[in-house]
Amino acid sequence: MNIAICDRYDTDITRISEFLDANIKNHMLNHALLEVDTFTSTDELLASPKEYSLIFLGILMPGTDGIEAARQLKDGPTLQ
């Protein structure tokens, strides 16, 4: 499972990552199946060629905001 976290604040990225570590990875039989990528801008996320099963996306982002990024992700080919 590929997960992306995209937020302008490193502290929020850290909180979400810690939550995933504490709650999801502990319930998975094979931790290698969970891969988490982090981004501090929506442009970086949108440029990623990887497909994600779950995306944590901040709304108030510099450049392309989270709502517009979500629209582009929905319409793009890399959403599972």
**Sequential pLDDT tens for the chain (80 residues):** 899 999 999 999 999 999 988 887 667 665 567 899 999 999 999 999 999 999 999 999 999 999 999 999 998 865 55
* Whether the predicted model's global pTM rises above the 0.95 cut: no
- Nearby residues of 24 by Cβ (< 8 Å), 6 or more positions away: 34
Question: What CATH homologous superfamily does 2-75 map to?
Answer: Response regulator (3.40.50.2300)
